[in-house]
Amino acid sequence: MVGIGVAGFALALAISLALTPFVKNFAIKIGAMDVPDHRKVHTRVMPRMGGLAIYAAFTVVILLFLPWMPSGLLSSYDRNLIYALLSGGTLIVLLGALDDRFQLNAKLKFLVQIGAACIVVFGFDIKINLVNIPFGSAMQPMGDWLSIPLTIFWIVGVTNAINLIDGLDGLAAGVSGIAIGTILVMAALMGQGSVILLSTVLLGAVAGFLYYNFHPAKIFMGDSGSLFLGFALATLSMLGFKQITVVSFVTPILIIGVPLSDTFFAIVRRWLQKKPIFEPDKGHLHHRLQQLGFSHRKTVLIIYGIAGFFGACAIVQSIATSTGMGNWVTFIVICVLIFLLQIGAEVTGIVDKSKRPVIDFFNRLFLRQQTQSRSK
């Protein structure tokens, strides 16, 4: 499997590197261009639709490799997983490409995303179907009335979360690449052959595109790329480990921790400011880091580091779960991350620039200790 994975990565990388310049010229020819406005960071008109190169490289390699995979290596579930990703992903890429060119209505995009999620759930019977009681051993089947909407919500939510962080050169591609790498490590540890193949090929496709997309970018991935990567990550992170439980479900949340937390803070920020939840703004993490004085490149690298930290936590949590320590490790990881996320939100002002309750509390505590030590 290692040899197949390496070959898949190399071939996808080569195809993505070769195709991206052609996609760039195609986007310019048909007018799929990203025009700067008050909300965007870039100052030049840029071609988008780069996601077509990622999708094409991924799909071509998977279709080439699939017939040659040993029958004993891929179960019927594994093949359903691959077909679900290819089928739903194709619909998502078509949606994104049309949006890159014509700026589609948000409601239409949302409905098509639900349709792609339904392909996964109803077309290939892939869904969350088990629930685990924390700090207990009982594993109970989850009824369709809950598993189906939960699965659709997860796929649509993650798809849009990746789309929301696509605001700087190389940001969405790099964060997605780190998440894919995390899934790859976990799949290797758990011996999930289908996920190893899908992850290595997708990682190669993303890496090839990132060569042209890192700052200063020559092309943007557009919605065709960010929606496809979001859909792929939602599918792989949720379905790569077959038995999804309340405890193990923390793992896929950690894998995509940066876009999910940024989306969560955006919703809270807009709610507090009494603005529509789906109204775009310049309060996302990358905006706030730049407003704090970090350069374009440093902002992206900082967020890469945060994504890597989330990925490391996901791997640790997954290993702990496999050794029977998942409940306590999960509890500790969640507590630490909630604290760090709160501190990070206050430092960056991603929710509110003026309110810093936890930092102010520690400042008061520190000043009180200083006052007491001086009085002695």
Largest CA distance in the chain: 78
Contact between 41 and 217 (Cβ < 8 Å): no
Cα 199 to Cα 207: distance, rounded to the nearest angstrom? 12
Which amino acid is residue 339, in one-letter code? F
Contacts of 321 (CB under 8 A, 6+ apart): 247, 248, 251, 329, 330
C-alpha distances in angstroms, 265 versus 38, 167, 285, 344? 21, 16, 9, 11
User: Cα 8–9–15 angle (5° rounding)?
Assistant: 90
327 is in an annotated binding site: no
163 is in an annotated binding site: yes
The annotated binding site for Mg(2+) is made up of 163, 223
The annotated binding site is made up of 163, 223
